[in-house]
Every structure is written in structure tokens, then in C-alpha cells.
Amino acid sequence: MASIWEYANPKKFIDTTDRLLPFIAVAAVAALVVGLVWGFFFTPEDYRQGSTVKIIYLHVPAALMAINAWLMMLVASLVWIVRRHHVSALAARAAAPVGAVMTVIALVTGAIWGQPMWGTWWEWDPRLTSFLVLFLFYLGYMALWSAIENDDTAADLTSVLCLVGSVFAVLSRYAVNFWNQGLHQGASLSLDKEENVADVFYHPLLVCIAGFILLFVALVFLRTQTEIRARRTRALLARERLG
Amino acid sequence: MISLLTRDMRLAVRAGGGFGLGLAFFLIVVVLVPFGVGPQSGLLARIAPGILWLGALLACLLSLDRIFALDWEDGSLDLLATSPVPLEGLVSMKALAHWLTTGLPLVLVTPVLGVLLNLPAAGYGPLVLSLLLGTPALSVIGTFGAALTVGIKRGGLLLSLLVLPLYVPTLIFGAEVARRGAEGLAYTAPLAMLAGITCGAIALLPFASAAVLRINLR
């Protein structure tokens, strides 16, 4: 009976992801090209925002992935704490820089979008502020990983930090809501059809989101493989020095 | 546990370390702010709650790495960990000692510094109350950060980076209570939130800190 825990074996993980990676990567590039070209060149301009509305195709998927990357790290950290599978800890480590970059993309495209629309690059709006806090969490998480020499200790400490950080990230989200009313609009995407943006923008946006998700998966697979191989290389070198 | 507490406090006060440092830093920040923003009393009165909260938070941050670092260096942390006192208790006592030597003095001098910043009369009660409720959370969260970075040489910068986002909710609610108090608005809602954060942190974080410390002492 095949189970997901088989992939806790690094060899099995590398073999499987090696086979999947080309497909995922190609699909990610295809979805991104189709989604962005469709979004940038074949959608009408918004009647109030003009062409600036097209930033949505980068901004929304990046913001979505920034949060989901942290969520994935949380799950991977839990798996590491409970079942102590090294691949899981390495996957969490591999996802952090990707998530941090997504956060930066969301913040930067948001600033570029905000300037013509709200007349300001930055506003202490709840959503913007909580993204900045999320970015700080990513920075702290990555810094802690790289500061500790022992791999297992680092994995343990960062996992606990990820758990505690998640609680405080949610707390900050509600705290900033309390603290300031925002300029940012509410959710424009939801399963509830009523709240969505108009279909002409919605369909290319969905393709872009799929592209970002595939891109994230591909990058995390690739980076996890790299981590596994780097660790193996270190083990081999250490063994050579001993023998 | 009581003897542990008294030991830590005696060390903090006598060794000329965190005790004076935090207070002096707080004093410096508050005294220098008027030079930085200008002496208009209206402006000072408006930013006073925020400045006082920020100063207290930074003064707390300054003394965090002393919580475990000295005990780690001379090996007494290992001895304490093998003592019959559970590690959670040890961590809580460390946090309490940190609060008694850093947080409480800060709360006590705040009214005096409030005068310097021309804080409105209505603001003193809420400000002191919010600091009294909020600084224990700062100490407990800081102890968690200190436990995380205890094994790292010169982990001060990392410690600040890790603790900074964790301090955000406490600072927001604390400063909000003080601000609303100074402006004469109702402040029970943020005060309740602040108390909730503090109680939650005191109840749960010692377990995380102890777990982290156990990993670091392995």
C-alpha cells in the first residue's frame, strides 16, 4: 500500500520529483506565459484604473503564494516535529526564500499599483502592514536556519519558531485590523461568485495563479533536492576526512 | 524556584548589567525625542504615549540576551537544567526575574517621563495600566527569543530580528490603550486584548521556551 510517508525517504523523494519536475516546470512556464500574455495584452482596460489594473496578474498570485508558502512551512515543520522526517525539514527550509521573494513581489507590485491609484507608495494599511510583518517572519526564520551549525538543532528550532510565529502572525493580522482602517479593498477572489472581479479579468487571473502555484512547487522540489544533495555531499566529505 | 528568582534578581542588580542599562536607555530615548521633533508641547503630547511605549519596548529588547547568555557561558544553565525544577518553571522564573528587573522599573519611571513629554493628565492611568499589563508579555516573548538564540555566538542581532515581529501585537494594543487614554476615549477593548495576549503568552510560551532550551542544551 503506497502512502505519502514513502517520500520521507530522500532517495524516493529525489527519484519521484526528478521524474515530475520537468512536467511541473514546463506547465508552470506555460501557465505563466499564457496567463500573463492574456492578462497584459488581451484584456480590456478597467474603466477607472486604466491599464494599471494589469498589475493584478502579478500582485494577487504572489500575495496568495506568500501566505500559502508559510502555511506549507507550518505543515512541514509539524511533520518534522512529529515524525522527524528529514525531507520535511529540508522542504520547509527550501520554501522559506521562495515565500520571502513572493512577499517582496507582492509588496513591490502593491507599491507600484498604489502610487497611481491611492496616490501613495506606502500606507499603514492592515493588509500592507501584516505583509511587512510576514516578511520579517520570513527573514527571522531564514536567519535562524543559517545561524545554527548543527542541522538537526536548526531544524528543531526553526520548526518551533514557525509554530510560534504562525500564532503571532495571525495575532498581528487581527491587531493591525483593529489599529487602522485600510485603503486596500476587501477580498476580490472568493468561491462565492458574487464577490469576484469581472470574468474578463478573472479567467487570466486564474491561469496566473495556477502558474504561480506550479512555479512554487517546482522551485520547492528543486531546492529540496539541492538541500538533500548538499547534505549528502557534506556527509561524504566528513566520512572521507575520517577514513 | 524562589531561590532561583532571588538569585537571578541579585545577579541582575549587583552585576551592574541589565538593571541600569534598560532604565538608562529608556531615559535617553525619552529625553532625546523633544530635541529630535521640536519642543512644541501639542505635538509632544500627541506622540507621548507612542514614544513611551516604544522606549519601554526597546529598553526591554536591549536586556534580553542577558537572560540566558551569562548562565550559558559559565555552564550554570546545564546545572539548572539537570536540577529537579522543571525547565518550564526555570524559564518562567527567568522571565519573571527579567520583568522585575526591567519591566517593572520602566513602568514605575514612566509617569515621571510622561511629564517631560507633556502627557495629558487623563493619560497617566491608562499608560501605566497598559505598560503594567503589557511588559510581562514582552518579557515572556523575549525569553522565548533568548532561548532560541542561546547557543549562537553574538546572537543579539538575530534575537532582535526574531523578537521584533513577535512584539507587534503587544505594541499595537498597548500603544492603542495609552493613546486612547490620553485622548480621553474609551480604552477597554484594546485593554482587554492586551490582557488576553499577556495571559496567553504567560500560559503557553514557557512551554515553547522550555522545548527550545531543551533542544539547545542537547
Least confident stretch, A45-49, B46-50, B167-171: A45-49
Binned at pLDDT 50, 70 and 90, residue B16 comes out as low
C-alpha cell at B63: 536586556
Whether B177 has its CB under 8 Å from any CB of chain A: the answer is no
- The reported pLDDT for the residue numbered B42 is 82
Q: Averaging pLDDT over each range in A127-131, A183-187, B106-110, which range is the top one? A: B106-110
CB contact under 8 A, A171 and B169: yes
pTM, two decimals, is: 0.87
- The reported pLDDT for the residue numbered B119 is 84
- pLDDT digits over B111-155, tens only? 888 888 888 888 888 999 999 999 999 999 999 999 998 888 777
Residue A199 reports pLDDT greater than 80: no
| Domain coordinates in residue numbering, chain A | 19-184+192-242
Residue B101 reports pLDDT greater than 60: yes
Q: Once rounded to an integer, what is the mean pLDDT over residues A48-70?
A: 86
- The reported pLDDT for the residue numbered B78 is 85
Query: CA of B193 to nearest chain A CA: how many angstroms apart?
Result: 9
A196 vs B150, residue with greater confidence:
B150
> Which residues have a Cβ under 8 Å from the Cβ of A175 and sit 6 or more positions away?
B168, B169, B172, B173, B193
- The reported pLDDT for the residue numbered A188 is 60
d(CA A96, CA A62): 14
CB contact under 8 A, A148 and B169: no
Residue B17 reports pLDDT greater than 60: no
- pLDDT digits over A80-130, tens only? 999 888 889 999 999 999 999 999 999 999 888 888 878 787 878 888 888
Q: What residues of A are in contact with residue B218 (Cβ under 8 Å)?
A: 153
CB contact under 8 A, B144 and A164: yes
CB contact under 8 A, A140 and B164: yes
Place of cell 482596460: A45
Q: Partners of B34 in the beta sheet?
A: none
Instruction: Round the average pLDDT of chain A to a whole number and report it.
Output: 86
CB contact under 8 A, A147 and B158: yes
Distance set, CA A55 to CA A7, A92, A100, A195, B205 (Å): 38, 29, 19, 19, 41
Question: A7: which DSSP letter?
Answer: G
- The reported pLDDT for the residue numbered A182 is 61
In chain A the beta strands, taken as DSSP E runs, fall at none
Query: CA of B208 to nearest chain A CA: how many angstroms apart?
Result: 7
A74 vs A178, residue with greater confidence:
A74
- The reported pLDDT for the residue numbered A78 is 93
Residue A150 reports pLDDT greater than 60: yes
C-alpha cell at B182: 490620553
Closest CA to B216 of B157, B117, B147, B145: B147
Whether A178 has its CB under 8 Å from any CB of chain B: the answer is yes
Binned at pLDDT 50, 70 and 90, residue A139 comes out as very high
HEC string of B137-205? Answer: HHHHHHHHHHHHCCCCCCCHHHHHHHHHHHHHHHHHHHHHHHHHHHCCCCCHHHHHHHHHHHHHHHHHH
Query: CA of A234 to nearest chain B CA: how many angstroms apart?
Result: 22
- A50 — phi, psi (to 5°)? 65, -145
Closest CA to A219 of A78, A97, A76: A97
